[in-house]
């Protein structure tokens, strides 16, 4: 379910996924296939990790990366973001994605 939340602009965020919702900053963003696919990849990740463990993993990984990198670099190197950013242009990705596919993106870190 997509929800428009203008307050995301204050956080400089286009979209965020908080299962089962995809929150977008602007209504027009709901037509951005790449952004929506990115957020749907996060929905799948959250489901397969049973939601709460996903958030714990995400936050702990960000905090660990933040000790070494800037906010942006740490965020982009979270394994869940690596998968979503790498695959968000592939509109068929979720149809063929295997369970826990994000794990293979640990070796694809960028700085």
Please give the Cα distance from 91 to 62 (Å, whole number).
27
DSSP codes, 25-75: SSGGGGG-HHHHHHHHHHHHHHHHTTSHHHHHHHHHHHHHHHTTS-HHHHH
* pLDDT surpassing 80 at residue 109: no
pLDDT number for residue 49: 98
HSE at residue 72, side-chain half, CA atoms within 13 A, is 3
Q: Model confidence over 61-103: pLDDT tens digits?
A: 999 999 999 999 999 999 999 999 999 999 999 999 999 999 9
What torsion do the CA atoms of 14, 50, 105, 88 make, to the nearest 10 degrees? Answer: -40
Confidence bin at 111 (pLDDT 50/70/90): low
Please give the average per-residue pLDDT across 16-39, as a whole number.
98
Q: What pTM, to 2 d.p., does this model score?
A: 0.94
């Amino acid at each position: 379910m997509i929800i428009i939340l203008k307050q995301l602009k204050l956080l400089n965020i286009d979209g965020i996924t908080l299962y089962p919702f995809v929150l977008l900053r602007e209504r027009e963003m709901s037509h951005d296939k790449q952004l929506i696919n990115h957020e749907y990849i996060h929905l799948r990740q959250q489901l397969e990790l049973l939601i709460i463990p996903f958030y714990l993993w995400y936050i702990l990984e960000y905090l660990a990366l933040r000790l070494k990198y800037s906010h942006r670099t740490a965020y982009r190197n979270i394994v869940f973001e690596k998968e979503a950013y790498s695959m968000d242009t592939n509109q068929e990705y979720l149809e063929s994605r295997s369970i826990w596919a994000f794990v293979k993106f640990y070796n694809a870190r960028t700085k």
